[in-house]
Amino acid sequence: MNKMTEDRPQQGTIQIGRVIRNGVFFKSGIRKVQTMNTDSLFQSVEKLFSMLATQKIDFVLVGGIALLQYIEGRNTEDIDLIVAVSSLKKLSEIKILEQDENFARGYFEELKIDFLLTENPVFAKVQREHTHLRPFLERDILTATVEGLILLKLYALPSLYRQGNFAKVGIYENDVATLIFYHQPDMNRLTSELEPFLNRSDFSEILNIVKEIENRLSRFDQKSSES
């Protein structure tokens, strides 16, 4: 079977509420899930996206939920959205717990939401140039493309290395590798798109990360063809 299509989710089969419920179970165990009102959680997802549509908020779905449109096996307990700060201010129903110039984090009822703010030029670029409408069981949602998700992951990696966040580095690099393996994007073009937004050191580090991933995938292809 072609690696572009094998082990891929079927369009329109992903239910966001169920993914988040499973993510909570994976991270916190059955006791926390049992204290949650699952029906209410599913309703909160529908209410959130209805509210965004009613308020005419421009947003892009990114993060773990978006990744599930392209690869399998990703757990997440939150929803990640790219929005403008001006849009975030209109959403009084969302309780913001923390916010800086690039990110905000809050809750809508039981839903945890992470916001990537378009004041950051890379996030704005993804919202502008790397989105398409994707089907979920709840509704069709504007979602980052494979290329958009790779840009976001690569952009984050130098900072994660500086923070010594080994766990997230591993997750992000694996996400990038899996997206490259199944979808074969033009990585030269994507890294060129990132270059204007990075200092020389961070850009060089990203080029090295991509090269290491491509070498690993090449070895995997070689071993697979031998077996």
Query: Which one has a higher pLDDT value, 72 or 84?
Result: 84
Pair (102, 211) in one structural domain:
no
Is residue 102 packed enough to be buried (19+ CB in 10 Å), middle (13-18) or exposed (0-12)?
middle
Between CA 96 and CA 103, with CA 100 as vertex, the angle to 5 degrees is 70
Domain of residue 216 covers 146-227
| Whole-model pTM over 0.85 | yes
Pair (120, 225) in one structural domain:
no
Average pLDDT of the residues of the chain: 89
CATH of the domain at 33: 3.30.460
| pLDDT reported for residue 7 | 46
How many separate domains does the chain show? 2
Which among 112, 144, 176 is the end of a domain?
A: 144
Q: Which of 59, 39, 40 is nearest to 49 (CA)?
A: 59
225 pLDDT tier (thresholds 50, 70, 90):
low
Pair (52, 138) in one structural domain:
yes
For residues 18 and 90, give the distance between their C-alpha atoms in angstroms, rounded to a whole number: 27
| pLDDT reported for residue 5 | 42
Pair (94, 21) in one structural domain:
yes
pLDDT at 60 over 90: yes
Instruction: Give the mean pLDDT of 19-33.
Output: 68
Pair (197, 163) in one structural domain:
yes
For residues 132 and 140, give the distance between their C-alpha atoms in angstroms, rounded to a whole number: 10
pLDDT at 192 over 50: yes
Pair (131, 199) in one structural domain:
no
Instruction: Give the mean pLDDT of 58-75.
Output: 91
